[in-house]
C-alpha cells in the first residue's frame, strides 16, 4: 500500500496529472513509462489502466478514479486525448479541478488545435507537462542520439551521431535501438568507423555519402548511391539538404582568409575541425563559378522535391551531375 504523501513539484512523475504533448511516438511512450515506473517504484501493486477515447464514456473516469477500499495506487493513461468526445472532456475537466489521492492521470495529447480546450484546462490546472515534439530536423535527431549515448554513460563522436542519423533516418525507435546495440557491443568511444562497420550496407545509401561523392567529382558513384538511397526510402529532401551542406561548405572554405589557425578557422566557419579537413580535400578541383552553378542546381532540385516539379528523382540526378562536373571546373 502506498503512502499518502505526494510531491508538488511539476518535475515529479507522480504529480496528480501529467500532460504528454506532441506527435513523437517514442517520446510519448517514454513519458508514459516514466510515470508508470515511478508509480510502481512507490507501490509495486500499482494498477495501470490505458484507455483509448472509445473506452471513455460519461462516468467512466469517475469510476476509475473513485476512492478504493484499500487505497491502492493507480495510473490512468488516456491516449489520443485530443479525440475525446465532448461529454468525456467535461468529465476530465471536472476531475482536473479536484484530482484524487493515489491516482496519477496521464493525458497523451497530440497538441495543435484539435482538443485545445482540454489542453488549456490541464495547463491551467497546473498539470506536469512533458513536451514530445516531432523531430523533423537532422540536428534535433543528432542531439537525440547524443542524449541516448550520454544517458548510457558512453561517449560518441559528432561524426558517429551524424552518420547514425543519416543511415537510419527519422525513426527515433530505430535510432534508440541502434544506440543501445552499439553501447552493448562496443567498448570505448563510438566513432564513425564503428557505425560504418555496423551499418555498412545502409551507409552506402546515406544522403551524406551522395553529397561527398558528388562534391568529390565521383559522378558514377554518386549516382549509384543516389539511386540506391531513393530505392531504400531515403527522403529526397534529406538528399538536397546534404548536397546543399556539401557545396556550401566548399564555398565557405574557399572564401575563408588564408593562414588562419585550424581552431580559429573552425569557429569562423561554424564547422568542427574534422569537417574542415574533409572539405579541404574535397575542394581541390572547385572554382568560384563552379560553386555558384552547383548552388543554383541544388536550389532547383530542392524546389522540385518540395512539390515544384513532376519528377523529383530526375531533379536530384540533374543536381548531382551538375555538382560533380563543377568539382572539376578549375
Strand 47-51 versus strand 74-78 pairing type: parallel
Q: What span, in angstroms and rounded, lies between the C-alpha atoms of 309 and 300?
A: 9
Supply 267's cell numbers: 569557429
**If we measure between CA atoms, which residue out of 79, 90, 83 comes closest to residue 114?**
83
The pLDDT of residue 6 is 38
Averaged pLDDT of the chain: 87
User: What residues does CATH 1.10.8 cover in the chain?
Assistant: 138-199
Q: Dig out the grid coordinates for 123 from the structure.
A: 495547463
| 244 to 97, 148, 200, 241: CA distances (angstroms) | 52, 28, 24, 5
Comparing CA positions, the residue from 236, 241, 231 lying closest to residue 137 is 241
CATH code, residues 207-327: 1.20.272.10
Please write the tens of the pLDDT for every residue from 147-178. 999 999 999 999 899 888 877 877 888 899 99
Residues of the chain with CATH 3.40.50.300: 17-132
Cell representation of residue 178: 541502434
SS3 101: coil
105-143 confidence digits (pLDDT tens): 999 999 989 999 999 999 999 999 999 998 888 889 999
Cα separation, 42 vs 62, whole angstroms: 23
Which class is domain 138-199? mainly alpha
Phi and psi, residue 247, nearest 5°: -70, -40
* Stated pTM of the model: 0.62
Distance CA 154, CA 180 (A): 10
Residue 171 β-bridge partners: none
pLDDT in tens, 234-279: 778 888 988 998 999 899 888 887 777 767 777 777 777 767 778 8
C-alpha cell at 82: 485530443
Secondary structure of residue 122 in the 3-state scheme:
helix
The arithmetic mean of pLDDT across residues 274-288, rounded, is 84
Sign of torsion over alpha carbons 121, 123, 126, 132 = positive
Q: Confidence band (pLDDT; 50, 70, 90) for 9?
A: very low
Whether the per-residue pLDDT at 183 is higher than 90: the answer is: yes
- pLDDT at position 65 is 87
Strands (E), the chain: 17-22, 47-51, 74-78, 103-109, 128-132
**3 state DSSP class of 143:** helix
**pLDDT tens per residue across span 192-245:** 888 888 876 565 557 888 999 999 999 999 998 898 888 877 778 888 988 998
pLDDT at 43 over 80: yes
Cβ atoms of 262 and 276 within 8 Å: the answer is yes
At 288-325, the pLDDT tens digits run 999 999 999 999 999 998 887 778 899 999 999 999 99
Percentage of residues in the chain having pLDDT higher than 70: 92
Q: Which cell numbers in the block locate residue 266?
A: 573552425
Q: What is the CATH number of domain 17-132?
A: 3.40.50.300
Please determine, for residue 5, whether its predicted confidence score (pLDDT) is greater than 90: no
Q: pLDDT at position 238, please?
A: 82
Query: Residue range 52-58: average pLDDT?
Result: 90
- For CATH 1.20.272.10, the residue range(s) in the chain are 207-327
When pLDDT is cut at 50, 70 and 90, the band that residue 7 belongs to is very low
Distance of CA 263 to the CA centre of its chain: 30
Amino acid at each position: 500500500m502506498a503512502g499518502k504523501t505526494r510531491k508538488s513539484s511539476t518535475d515529479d512523475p507522480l504529480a496528480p496529472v501529467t500532460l504528454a504533448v506532441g506527435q513523437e511516438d517514442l517520446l510519448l511512450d517514454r513519458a508514459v513509462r516514466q510515470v508508470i515506473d515511478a508509480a510502481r517504484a512507490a507501490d509495486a501493486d500499482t494498477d495501470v489502466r490505458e484507455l483509448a477515447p472509445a473506452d471513455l464514456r460519461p462516468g467512466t473516469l469517475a469510476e476509475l478514479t473513485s476512492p478504493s477500499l484499500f487505497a491502492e495506487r493507480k495510473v490512468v493513461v488516456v491516449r489520443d486525448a485530443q479525440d475525446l468526445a465532448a461529454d468525456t472532456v467535461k468529465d476530465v475537466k471536472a476531475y482536473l479541478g479536484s484530482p484524487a489521492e493515489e491516482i496519477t492521470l496521464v493525458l497523451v495529447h497530440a497538441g495543435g488545435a484539435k482538443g485545445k480546450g482540454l489542453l488549456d484546462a490541464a495547463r491551467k490546472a497546473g498539470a506536469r507537462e512533458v513536451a514530445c515534439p516531432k523531430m523533423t530536423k537532422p540536428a534535433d535527431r543528432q542531439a537525440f542520439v547524443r542524449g541516448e549515448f550520454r544517458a548510457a554513460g558512453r561517449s560518441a563522436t559528432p561524426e558517429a551521431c551524424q552518420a547514425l542519423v543519416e543511415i537510419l533516418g527519422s525513426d527515433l525507435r530505430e535510432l534508440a535501438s541502434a544506440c543501445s546495440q552499439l553501447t552493448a557491443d562496443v567498448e570505448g568511444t563510438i566513432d564513425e568507423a564503428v557505425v560504418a562497420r555496423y551499418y555498412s550496407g545502409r551507409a552506402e545509401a546515406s544522403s551524406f555519402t551522395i553529397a561527398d561523392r558528388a562534391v568529390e567529382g565521383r559522378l558514377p558513384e554518386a549516382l549509384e548511391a543516389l539511386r540506391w538511397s531513393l530505392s531504400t526510402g531515403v527522403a529526397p529532401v534529406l538528399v538536397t539538404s546534404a548536397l546543399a551542406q556539401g557545396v556550401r561548405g566548399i564555398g565557405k572554405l574557399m572564401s575563408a582568409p588564408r593562414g588562419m589557425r585550424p581552431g580559429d578557422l573552425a569557429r569562423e566557419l561554424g564547422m568542427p575541425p574534422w569537417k574542415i579537413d574533409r572539405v579541404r580535400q574535397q575542394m581541390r578541383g572547385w572554382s568560384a563559378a563552379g560553386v555558384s552553378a552547383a548552388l543554383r542546381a541544388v536550389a532547383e532540385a530542392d524546389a522540385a522535391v518540395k512539390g515544384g516539379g513532376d519528377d523529383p528523382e530526375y531533379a536530384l540526378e540533374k543536381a548531382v551531375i551538375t555538382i560533380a562536373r563543377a568539382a572539376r571546373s578549375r
